[in-house]
A and B are shown apart, each in its own frame.
Chain A
Amino acid sequence: MNRSNHMEYIDGMERIDSDMLKQVVHAMHNYDYTKYTAYDVKTALAHDSLTTEDFAALLSPAALPLLEEMAQRAQFETRKHFGNSIAMFTPLYIANYCENYCIYCGFNCHNKIRRARLTEAEIETEMQTISKTGLQEILILTGESRKMSNVDYIANACRIAKKYFKVVGIEVYPMNSAEYAKLHKSGADFVTVFQETYNSDKYETLHIEGHKRIFPYRFYAQERAIMGGMRGVGFAALLGLDDFRKDAFATGMHAYLLQKKYPHAEIAFSCPRLRPIINNDKINPRDVHEPQLLQVICAYRIFMPFAAITISTRECERFRNNAINIAATKISAGVDVGIGGHSGSQKGDEQFEISDPRNVDEVYKAIEQQGLQPVMSDYIYV
């Protein structure tokens, strides 16, 4: 099959005059994590404020035996910047139609699953149900189909969300800055886009069809979101797709350069690992075991102490409870990654299998039990 050039924009995709992609990819390609030693890691940990070279050392194999030291420093930075506050939220999947063929994702257009899109009334019912749990923050997600979940549809969902929640984030397909501006006016203020992998060659082999295939358009999504007026943006590589150390390094560099260019932008990291999906239970995070995942989380925290870090239900209860004690500042609860599941009438299948089914109350209590303070909202839309 002749595949399209994944580095070439498609008509209608906004281009930004920037060399940030080049900088990130260059840094990633030159990142030789085998050259770092325990000395480099200890030196990095001794610095008050970390350089990108220090960050590289913290992600190297040499840092793994020093994970306890990293966790201690990470916890110190987390408490300094966030105190003991842990933000709670839940994702709401409103549609799972997708035009992309990403071979690892349960929503991919060739995977035989039940597809669905919530109507406005159904969105409202779902949100009412969620808001009764006390949550004040919601993350609206769709599959990546402009046809089945267009910008107006997502904007409507944001407007409904503003009736029930203080904080509205979106995790949908990348769009142009004017479209982000529209969603911002509709009440959304945070945009998360997973780059999946920053290795464009590997990216090309994983994203076979659809607009998602266009690597640079996805890369510049966060910048377009900030240009569209969004307050904050989230970054992530899907750990396990490619060389996780390089991907984590590139993710940090991406966030670092964006914050440097837009100092007012609020930065967040997610740390997803690959999970099994419907019709493929063999998918796993390969060499990214829990210690490696924790290493990545701690490295993000120490490198950018002010960034929010989300720990999702891709991880189990034990890991999540410990992650919020060390470095994560945001945790989901009462999660349902299917379509329509919150109000008891699921009509579309899940994106992936979750590992932590606890409801809002259970997570709330678990946070408190660790001497931490659950926070439903620390935000004002202005």
Chain B
Amino acid sequence: MEDTFILNGHQFTSRFILGSGKYSLDLIKAAIENAGAQMITLALRRAAGGEIANILDYIPDNITLLPNTSGARNADEAVRIARLAREMGCGDFIKIEAIRDTKYLLPDNYETLKATEVLAKEGFVVMPYMYPDLNFARDLRNAGAACVMPLGAPIGSNKGLCTKDFIKILIDEIDLPVIVDAGIGKPSQACEAMEMGAAAVMANTAIATARDIPTMALAFKKAIEAGRNAYLAGLGTVIDTGARASSPLTGFLHD
């Protein structure tokens, strides 16, 4: 059976969501092909940028667009940008980014939830970028989110899974796809997220700042597939501390 993940009834075989910002437009096609990506994020504010160098002209038609609401500082603005994305023909998928801190670009969970409530009711496939908090993830699920997108580390930091333990809690407890977003800096970190049971990984800066963008996209694809296969295969046990005692501790039960 094909290994897929589902977002509000939409099925995907690729578990690599590629970012499109921060690199040259003429490399987007090659990056998508090498990544084997079926979904690409784009900032609507870039897509609304006029006729010259418009990012939309560089994305192949068969790729699902995941417009994001970057630039929104609160729920109202995120909702307005989402509606605009739909009007511009970008489809029903929307990644909610509600950010009111220009320094760290950390998501505002409260505003994100408010936007999710509104947009899910309007039929959007809502994919909220969020700080990994279990209670909040439950609220998002109840509000109609199609997945949760916890950050691994601050956007653009390439620091990897700084929030690993909290993402694992979401994977264990939330019956929605958990897509690790932001902070993934290397293929090995993407692989680690997938080994943990993440449904997919989203990466942008790690690829955009590589010397060879298409090749890095390929490296991520392979790492994500390896991590997914490892998860499906079931990781072997790792003994962190101590060795097995030669005299069993429970031997007395059989005496």
Say whether B158 contacts A373, CB under 8 Å: no
Min CB–CB distance A77 → chain B (angstroms):
10
For B103, what are the chain A residues with a Cβ–Cβ distance below 8 Å? 259, 263, 304, 306
Say whether B84 contacts A83, CB under 8 Å: no
Decide if A82 is an interface residue (CB 8 Å cutoff). yes
For B22, what are the chain A residues with a Cβ–Cβ distance below 8 Å? 79, 82-85
B45, closest chain A residue (CB) = A380
CA distance A369 to B105 in the complex (A): 30
For B87, what are the chain A residues with a Cβ–Cβ distance below 8 Å? none
Say whether B48 contacts A377, CB under 8 Å: yes
Min CB–CB distance A265 → chain B (angstroms):
6
B155, closest chain A residue (CB) = A81
Say whether B156 contacts A375, CB under 8 Å: no
Which B99-155 residues have C-beta < 8 A from chain A?
100-103, 105
Say whether B50 contacts A166, CB under 8 Å: yes
Which of B43, B48, B73 meets A166, CB within 8 Å? B48
CA distance A319 to B100 in the complex (A): 34
In the complex, per-residue mask of B78-95: 1 if CB is within 8 Å of any chain A CB, else 0: 001100100000000000
Say whether B46 contacts A375, CB under 8 Å: yes
Say whether A376 contacts B49, CB under 8 Å: yes
For B72, what are the chain A residues with a Cβ–Cβ distance below 8 Å? 382
CA distance A382 to B103 in the complex (A): 20
Decide if B51 is an interface residue (CB 8 Å cutoff). yes
Decide if A11 is an interface residue (CB 8 Å cutoff). no
Say whether A380 contacts B158, CB under 8 Å: no
Say whether B52 contacts A264, CB under 8 Å: no
Instruction: Sort chain B's interface into a size bin.
Output: 20 to 34
For A264, what are the chain B residues with a Cβ–Cβ distance below 8 Å? 73, 100-102
For A375, what are the chain B residues with a Cβ–Cβ distance below 8 Å? 46, 49, 53
Decide if B157 is an interface residue (CB 8 Å cutoff). yes
Say whether B44 contacts A380, CB under 8 Å: yes
CA distance A84 to B21 in the complex (A): 9
For A306, what are the chain B residues with a Cβ–Cβ distance below 8 Å? 102-103, 105
Instruction: Sort chain A's interface into a size bin.
Output: 20 to 34
Which of B21, B43, B76, B156 meets A80, CB within 8 Å? B156
Which of B51, B102, B157 meets A263, CB within 8 Å? B102
Say whether B49 contacts A265, CB under 8 Å: no
Say whether A382 contacts B77, CB under 8 Å: yes
Decide if B208 is an interface residue (CB 8 Å cutoff). yes
CA distance A380 to B25 in the complex (A): 20
Which A257-290 residues have C-beta < 8 A from chain B?
259, 263-267
Say whether B45 contacts A378, CB under 8 Å: yes
B79, closest chain A residue (CB) = A382
Say whether B156 contacts A380, CB under 8 Å: no
For A166, what are the chain B residues with a Cβ–Cβ distance below 8 Å? 48-50
Which B40-60 residues have C-beta < 8 A from chain A?
43-46, 48-53
Say whether B50 contacts A81, CB under 8 Å: no
Min CB–CB distance B249 → chain A (angstroms):
46
Interface residues of A (CB under 8 A from B): 79-85, 134, 136, 166, 259, 263-267, 304, 306, 364, 368, 371-380, 382
In the complex, besides A84-B208, A259-B102, 16 extra interface pairs with C-beta distance below 8 angstroms are A79-B209, A80-B158, A81-B156, A134-B52, A136-B52, A263-B101, A267-B102, A364-B52, A372-B24, A376-B49, A376-B50, A377-B50, A378-B45, A378-B49, A379-B49, A380-B71
Interface residues of B (CB under 8 A from A): 21-25, 43-46, 48-53, 71-73, 76-77, 80-81, 84, 100-103, 105, 156-158, 205, 208-209
9 nearest A-B pairs in the assembled complex, by CB-CB distance: A83-B22, A377-B49, A134-B52, A264-B100, A382-B77, A263-B101, A136-B50, A380-B45, A83-B208
